[in-house]
Amino acid sequence: MQYPDLETFLSTGSEALAKGPIAMIFAEDDVELATTIRHTRLSGFKSVLCFARDDLELPRDLKEKVHRIAYDMTQDNALTTAVNAIIEAAPGIWMYYCYNAEYLFYPYCETRSIGELLAFHTEERRDAMLTYVIDVYAGDLDKTPNAVSLDDAYLDKSGYYALARPDENNHNYPKERQLDFFGGIRWRYEEHVPADRRKIDRISLFKSKEGLRLLENHTFNDEEYNTYACPWHNNLTAAIVSYRTAKALKRNPGSTFDIQTFRWHNSTPFEWHSRQLLDLGLMEPGQWF
């Protein structure tokens, strides 16, 4: 199912937005786009929307399984414009968004669907879920110069930290139940990463509603959506395993020659399993057992 632009999809593709959860994948290039779509579909999303340029090809087996929307990711505010348009068109359902070469993991995802996860989260009166964007990278950049290898993937097993999030409207006092999280290669190579892009927290799973808007810093205009837990106990969190930063650092002429390898003494092979992320403290099961 293909649509020539977002406006056409919104006017003719309402069936894809009838029931959630739905996933939105934003393709900045074709790197691991197919595997991102397959991984997302296997999680159990009812519909998968793929925003991609016309020249990015999908494998034949995926063309009828996703709603492909021709979209230019180089335009200003491309992601927020599309996400907010989908929110406005389909209030009241769970949504997820990511880029290509990003893979969603949540507690026990090998045996439980995304629908089960969000049903439990809804029962806890939560309408959004904090996700940590965990940088992964190829272990051998000589073999894979673009830093993307599913078979030779590494992540940082330590070096993550959080800072209080100041409230500009309240004398910069810390916001309640909100933190800014940092770590991974964005932290290790922060001299090559703009300050406003160094955070690794993202509210990637959320329930749409009238008036809700995604902001450019991956938070929402509803402050409760930006909290990591409810007031009475810890809630579920999830992780997005992402090659996006590694790919950008090796593609950027200003940083590529400074990086011979992303590996360091705290690198560990990524096992592509939720248990590893739980053991490393990179996501939280909350009360979900």
Please state, as a whole number, how many other Cβ atoms lie within 10 Å of the Cβ of residue 176: 11
Segment 264-286, tens digit of pLDDT: 999 999 999 999 999 999 999 99
Segment 2-18, tens digit of pLDDT: 999 999 999 999 899 99
Over residues 96-114, mean pLDDT: 98
Smallest Cα–Cα separation from 141: which of 249, 231, 237?
A: 249
> What is the pLDDT confidence band of residue 210, given thresholds at 50, 70 and 90?
very high
* Residue found under tokens 């932290």: 187
Query: Letter for the amino acid at 253?
Result: P
Length of the chain: 289
Pairing between β-strand 2-3 and β-strand 67-70 as defined by DSSP bridges: parallel
Span 1-100 CATH architecture: 3-Layer(aba) Sandwich (3.40)
Domain boundaries, the chain: 1-100, 102-289
